[in-house]
Amino acid sequence: MTGGGAPEEERLDRAFLARVIEPGDELGGRWLREYGARDVVRRLTGGGRPLPEASEKRWAGLCARADRADPEGDLHQAREAGVRFLVPGDGEWPGQLDDLGDGRPVGLWVRGRANVRMWALRSVAVVGARACTEYGAHVAASLAAGLAERGWVVVSGGAYGVDGAAHRGVLGVGGATVAVLACGVDRPYPRGHVQLIGRIAEQGLVVGELPPGEHPTSSRFILRNRVIAALTRGTVVVEAAYRSGALVTARAAQRLGRFTMGVPGPATSALSAGVHELLRGDAVLVSDAAEVVELVGDMGELAPDRRGPVLPRDLLEPGARQVLAALPGQGTAAVDEVARGAGTSVDEAVGRLYELRALGYVERHGDGWKLTRQAMISVSPDRRPG
The half-sphere exposure of 296 on its side-chain side, counting CA atoms within 13 A, is: 33
Say which residues have a Cβ less than 8 Å from residue 262's Cβ, sequence separation at least 6. 236, 237, 238, 250, 275, 276, 278, 279, 283, 284, 285, 286
The half-sphere exposure of 74 on its side-chain side, counting CA atoms within 13 A, is: 26
Residue 25 identity: D
Q: What is the enclosing helix (H) or strand (E) of 145?
A: helix 134-149
- Per-residue confidence (pLDDT) for residue 133, from 0 to 100: 92
Query: Residues 83, 111: contact at Cβ < 8 Å?
Result: yes
Q: Is it true that 112-296 and 313-383 share their CATH fold?
A: no
Angstrom distance (rounded) from CA 163 to CA 221: 13
Query: Residues 66, 45: contact at Cβ < 8 Å?
Result: yes
The CA-atom distances, in angstroms, between 148 and each of 84, 131, 142, 192 are: 25, 24, 10, 24
Say which residues have a Cβ less than 8 Å from residue 288's Cβ, sequence separation at least 6. 142, 143, 146
State the chain's maximal CA–CA distance in angstroms: 74
The CA-atom distances, in angstroms, between 130 and each of 133, 162, 245, 347 are: 9, 6, 9, 28
Looking at domain 313-383, does it have CATH number 1.10.10.10? yes
Angstrom distance (rounded) from CA 232 to CA 217: 24
The CATH code belonging to domain 112-296 is 3.40.50.450
**pTM for this predicted structure:** 0.83
- Per-residue confidence (pLDDT) for residue 376, from 0 to 100: 67
- Per-residue confidence (pLDDT) for residue 104, from 0 to 100: 97
Query: Residues 215, 183: contact at Cβ < 8 Å?
Result: yes
Q: Choose among 127, 134, 89, 82: nearest CA to 107.
A: 89
The half-sphere exposure of 299 on its side-chain side, counting CA atoms within 13 A, is: 0
- Per-residue confidence (pLDDT) for residue 312, from 0 to 100: 58
Domain boundaries, the chain: 8-80, 112-296, 313-383
The shares of helix, strand and coil residues in the chain, as percent rounded to the nearest 5, are 50, 15, 35
- Per-residue confidence (pLDDT) for residue 46, from 0 to 100: 84
- Per-residue confidence (pLDDT) for residue 385, from 0 to 100: 38
Angstrom distance (rounded) from CA 207 to CA 40: 25
- Per-residue confidence (pLDDT) for residue 315, from 0 to 100: 59
Q: Choose among 156, 154, 147: nearest CA to 129.
A: 156
- Terminal CA-CA length for the chain: 42
- Per-residue confidence (pLDDT) for residue 377, from 0 to 100: 56
What backbone torsions phi and psi does residue 293 show, to the nearest 5 degrees? -65, -35
DSSP label at residue 216: P
What average pLDDT values come out for the chain (386 residues) when binned by 10 residues? Answer: 68 97 96 95 85 91 94 96 96 96 97 94 96 94 95 96 96 95 93 94 96 93 96 96 91 96 93 94 94 83 46 70 88 92 90 84 88 65 40
Q: Where are the alpha helices (DSSP H) in 21-133?
A: 26-35, 37-45, 56-68, 71-80, 116-121
